[in-house]
Structure 1
Amino acid sequence: MPVGEICNRDVIILQREATILDAAKLMREHHVGDVLVVEERDGARFPVGIVTDRDLVVEIMATGLDQAVITVGDIMVQELVTVKESTGVFETIQYMRGKAVRRLPIVDENGVLVGILALDDLLELLSEELLAIAKLIRYQRQKETTLRR
């Protein structure tokens, strides 16, 4: 299954110039742990960075910096890793593990933002699949018991 089918397409975005305070307010309003920083070119959004709730706490709040003047461009993760929407789920999991990231922007073939995939999304998908397997095993046992009485 390609990750483009399971990624969250409702991505919270900001431009580089937005303040950290803007980012924090958006995270709270939308109940998310990150915002993607994008550049708009020819009407398309290209991801260029990410700021997480952890970045806000560790880089800004814990050091006492002014949230109203520091921009997301100042603290965003510069080396943003992305995956194409056609990439398979298990390949994506291996990629996330190798890069040690919990959130991954999903892009199309041209690098345009399509969505975001979080570790939580993968855990939900995998738990649903494991539940389906467990139900299959239980159903098979019940069926065999009924047929062999």
Structure 2
Amino acid sequence: MSISECSNIGVVCCGVDATIPEVAALMRKYHVGDVIVVENRNGDRVPLGIVTDRDIVIETTALQLDTNVFTAGDIMSTPIITVREGEGFIETLRLMRQHKIRRMPVVTDAGTLYGIVTADDVINLLVMELSLMTGAIVEQPIREGQLRKSP
């Protein structure tokens, strides 16, 4: 399975000049914990960095700094770690683990933003798959009993 099959294509984005309150407002409005900082190149969004809710707290709020004077470009994590949309699910998990990240933008071969995959997405997918397997395990003896005649 390629990672594009389980990535979310509704990515919340901002430019490098977005203020921290603007970024936080986007997170609140769309109920997300990250915003991808992008540059517009010929109508395409190219990811430059990522700002998480944790970045905002640790880099500004916890230090009691005025969030209005900082921009997404000031606190974004960069260089951003991305994965190509055709990459496999397992390889993507390996990259997330290797880089110790829970959110990974998915890009096209041209490097433009396709979507994002998060640890939550991965866990939800795995839970669904395990649930299907559990159902098969539980139902198999019942089916076998129905197919076999009793002596």
CA-CA distance at 1:138 after TM superposition:
1.4
CA RMSD, Structure 1 to Structure 2 (Å): 0.8
Give the structure 2 partner of residue 111 of structure 1: 111
What stretches of structure 1 move > 3 A for 4+ residues in a row? none
Q: Which amino acid aligns with 1:97?
A: R
SS in structure 2 of the partner of residue 68 of structure 1: helix
Alpha-carbon distance in structure 1 between the residues aligned to 2:142 and 2:88: 34
Which runs of 5 or more residues in structure 2 are unaligned? none
Normalising by structure 2, we get a TM-score of 0.96
Q: What whole-Å deviation, never above 9, does each CA across 1:85-128 have from its counterpart, x for those lacking one? A: 00111111111001100000000001000001000000000000
- Tell me whether 1:59 sits opposite 2:30 in the alignment: no
SS in structure 1 of the partner of residue 91 of structure 2: helix
Give the structure 1 partner of residue 21 of structure 2: 21
Which runs of 5 or more residues in structure 1 are unaligned? none
CA-CA distance at 1:31 after TM superposition:
0.4
CA-CA distance at 1:146 after TM superposition:
2.1
Normalising by structure 1, we get a TM-score of 0.97
Q: What whole-Å deviation, never above 9, does each CA across 1:20-55 have from its counterpart, x for those lacking one? A: 110001101110000000001111110000000000
- Tell me whether 1:81 sits opposite 2:81 in the alignment: yes
Alpha-carbon distance in structure 1 between the residues aligned to 2:119 and 2:74: 25
